[in-house]
Structure 1
Amino acid sequence: MKNFKEIAKNVINIEQQAIAELLQYIDDNFEKACHIMYQCQGRVIVIGMGKSGHIGGKIAATLAKTGTPAFFVHPGEASHGDLGMITKDDVVLTISNSGETGEVLAIIPVIKRIGAKLISMTGNTSSTLAKLADTHVCIKITTEACPLGLAPTSSTTATLVMGDAMAVALLNARGFTADDFALSHPGGSLGKRLLLRLSDIMHQGERLPVISENALIKEALVEMSLKGLGMTAIVNAKNQLVGLFTDGDLRRILDLQIDIHQDKITTVMTKSPTVAQADMLAAQALNIMEDKKINGLIIVDEHHSPIGAMNMHDLLRSGVL
């Protein structure tokens, strides 16, 4: 019986080596290709046939979601009308391991006539496609993981990694941020994690648990029970936050000689608690809560007055957690 695990490990080793070999091709040609795409006034059009086309589609998607507008065009469809999608302001990124793919070469004269910049990614620096391009990025690999040397394996992996290298280099050059990323990912949990702010989910107004610093512990317990957040903010006469009392604090004082009917909340509250601002991303608040090992946050304004409160349950309901 075949040793599937050993075969699989050998495939991974071969493909890891192919990726390592790419480092030598991060050269002046790679940098020129990135500059051309960075300065592009239109779109990056990715073109490839067969397996190179599948990889090209992924590269186009990665470019588009990281700040470089891009889309994929099939070379066969391009020859039958889709070349009309390409303008002189665009950059065309052609992918072909051999550099001699007929369907791709057939449309190069038209791309040249349009005036679009041409970047090629091939495994053959002497290929026709490499020579026709404004700059050529080499993706040559030594060995395919396929033992027959027929199925694109290491070569497609190397192409995808080189595309990722371009996309991330451009992302960094553009100063692309999480907020920019969120604009193209508004749906699902990813969009919620990136777009949702505390102002969207915090409890405010009458739902905000807050008591005076002159209040007794029993009054804090009543406020916590009414508002149901497991905590209450404590404020001074100027409505500025001076402390916080939580369910955890309550458990910690049970063994102390505390009279909840007589003692003030200031004797047991947490002073200078961690706070947040209303425009903070919910995902950022989650990081703070996990780092501080706390279950809730009070949201304050520029005067340090409480304007909202939220806890882990709010993050869970909103889909952030």
Structure 2
Amino acid sequence: MSDSAPNRTRTKTDGDELDGAALIERGREVLATEARAITALAGRLDDAFVDACRLVLACDGHLIVTGMGKSGHIGHKLAATLASTGTPAFFVHPAEASHGDLGMIRSGDLIVALSNSGETAELLALLPVIKRLGVRLIAMTGNADSTLARHADVHLDTGVDREACPLGLAPTASTSAQLAMGDALAMGVLDARGFTAEDFARSHPGGSLGKRLLLHIADVMHSGDDLPAIGPDRTVSDAIVEITRARLGLCAVIDDARRVLGILTDGDLRRGLDGVGDIRTTPVRDLMTAEPQTIDADALAAEAVEQMQARRIQGLLVVDEEGRLVGALNFQDLLQAGVV
């Protein structure tokens, strides 16, 4: 080492000197403290919670969540949860509100303000404007006697006995309490609004749940020239060519009116070829599976997943109400669509 290189002083925070048992114990203490803080909220829920839910449900405008610091981070999450569960909501930073963002707030809106102390200066500065606009206010604080709580239409008590921080300084248990109370408010409103899984999916179309509840068979099936189909009197050799061309691992067997008579799959070929004579002369009807599983194009793609998994099959034919072939899909199509 060069004489000019700085000396590193090993400290008690170096990885090889950490006391693992002490760390685990500290972690358990934090989790227990925050769990007690959240549990205590349940015993304090009263008519104020009901009033808060009613205000949210009655709001004709937007619900605006605001808060500073760590409470602001919790506010961001609360706004996102409300917006995704049927309540138009967004977050406004209270410091930015005094510099132009107050234009986002209109008469008919509802504000939910988060502050553990209830004395956050940036929030208190908004009170005169809120009152002048006639905007209703729900305050979520840890001090029922605070300025913010006293000026609110509804106050939700999120006070905690102590923070989980060993110094008693970093917001920990108090922000956990805010988060839990915000979720309770959002879920109470969701339930009262009659919000369904389908409603949730509409605001989450890119997620797996949205795809399971919104994506239909018609959205993922193969049709037209991509659709492998053959008549029952064609040969097994012809069917192999059709299966290879379509790359779906299956071929529909149809009559002249395109009604489904059967299906021939890669599995059928593997299991049946030993008992078949010349594939160039053997008709498809001798090897196909008659009366195969089918599904309607308007059905949810999730239903196709359930059928395939329940019957341990890899493909489905899609038919109309007359039993005529309109499409086909395999399990890989559903995987690629994100339904599985």
- Interval of TM-score (by shorter of Structure 1 and Structure 2): 0.7 to 0.9
Higher relative contact order at CA 8 Å, sep ≥6: structure 1 or structure 2?
1
Distance, in Å, in 1 between the alignment partners of 2:72 and 2:90 is 12
Deviation string, structure 1 residues 136-168 (Cα, Å, up to 9, x no partner): 222223332211221111211221122222223
State the distance in 1 between where 2:235 and 2:305 align: 31
Range with bigger deviation, 224-233 or 280-289:
280-289
Q: List gaps (5 residues or longer) in structure 1.
A: none
Equivalence for 1:125: 144
Q: How many residues align?
A: 320
Q: For residue 331 of structure 2, what is the aligned residue in structure 1?
A: 312
Secondary structure in 2 matching 1:121: strand
Does 1:151 pair with 2:176? no
**Partner of 1:45: helix, strand, or coil?**
strand
Unaligned runs of 5+ residues in structure 2 are: 1-17
The separation in 2 between residues aligned to 1:172 and 1:274, in whole angstroms, is 38
Question: Contact 1:25 / 1:137 at 8 angstroms: preserved in 2?
Answer: no
Is 1:84 matched with 2:100? no
Q: 1:112 aligns with which of 100, 118, 131?
A: 131
2:66 to 33, 37, 47: 47
Name the % identity. Answer: 52
Equivalent residue number for residue 5 of structure 1: 24
Partner AA of 1:208 in structure 2: L
The match for 1:19 is: 38
**Aligned counterparts of 1:9 and 1:242: Cα–Cα separation in 2:** 64
Distance 2:248 2:57 in 1: 49
Once the 2 structures are TM-superposed, how far is the Cα of residue 274 of structure 1 from its aligned partner?
A: 3.2
Name the SS for the 1:148 alignment partner.
Answer: coil
Range that drifts further, 132-141 or 246-255: 246-255
Determine the structure 1 residue equivalent to 2:5: none
Measured after TM superposition, the shift of residue 230 of structure 1 is: 0.4
Instruction: After TM superposition, list the pairs within 5 Å mapping 1:110-259 onto structure 2.
Output: 110-177=129-196, 180-181=199-200, 183-185=202-204, 196-254=215-273, 257-259=275-277
Residues 3-30 of structure 1, C-alpha deviations (whole Å, 9 max, x = no match): 3222223222322232322322443322
Between structure 1 and structure 2, the one with the greater Rg is 2
Aligned partner of residue 164 in structure 1, secondary structure: helix
User: Does the 8 A contact of 1:33 with 1:119 survive in 2?
Assistant: yes
Report how far residue 68 of structure 1 moved. 0.9
Q: Which amino acid aligns with 2:38?
A: I
Separation (CA, whole Å) in 1 of partners of 2:159 and 2:289: 62
Judged with a 3 Å threshold, the aligned counterparts in structure 2 of structure 1 residues 303 and 84 are, in CA distance, closer, same or farther, namely same
Per the alignment, do residues 274 and 168 of structure 1 end up closer, same or farther by CA in structure 2, a change over 3 Å counting? farther
Coordinate RMSD, CA, aligned: 2.9
